[in-house]
Amino acid sequence: MKGVDMDRRRNILKNTFKFAASFIVINILFLFVVVAFVLYSTAGKNINSLVPISRKVNPDDLDWEAINEIGGWGIVVDNEGNVVKSYYQEDDKKNYTYIELVDLFDIRHNDKTAFSYGTVDGNKLIIIYPSLVFQKYPP
């Protein structure tokens, strides 16, 4: 009876170690698969080249070709609303009124999403993306 009890405990311990080892191996394999997927399957550009993360930006440092590929465009305006520089601008406006600038950020227009940044020379950079690419609010 004592030998059977010892064998049973040994089998339980052996099966516990097998389970723990297989659990660790499976998790390590899963980790490698996820890391490989993240590193090698991301298509396109880094989000930092599409959306600046600092308050003051230099507009010429952004990847405007990549922004244009996803349908985005941008303008740099001064305090009077004059367009200092444009990047793939849809219309060739040289001046915006304050109402037109505010209208770019109107959330009722669901077809576009706009971001505003200060530039290093004191102007404002406005980047407009299609809402299919970037949304102001989660769905």
DSSP assignment of 2-39 equals HHHHHHHHHHHHHHHHHHHHHHHHHHHHHHHHHHHHHH
Each residue's pLDDT tens digit, 25-72: 999 999 999 988 877 755 555 566 667 777 788 888 888 888 888 888
* pTM of the model as a whole: 0.60
More confident call, 134 vs 5 = 5
What average pLDDT score do residues 93-107 get? 82
Q: How confident is the model at residue 71, as a pLDDT?
A: 86
Tokens linked to 99 = 């109402």
Q: Dihedral (C-alpha) 37, 48, 46, 69: value to the nearest 10 degrees?
A: 140
Q: How confident is the model at residue 65, as a pLDDT?
A: 87
Q: How confident is the model at residue 133, as a pLDDT?
A: 72
Q: How confident is the model at residue 45, as a pLDDT?
A: 52
Q: How confident is the model at residue 23, as a pLDDT?
A: 96
More confident call, 56 vs 21 = 21
Q: How confident is the model at residue 137, as a pLDDT?
A: 56
Q: How confident is the model at residue 76, as a pLDDT?
A: 92
Each residue's pLDDT tens digit, 102-117: 888 876 766 788 888 8
Q: How confident is the model at residue 27, as a pLDDT?
A: 97
The pLDDT mean for the chain works out to 82
The residue type found at 80 is E
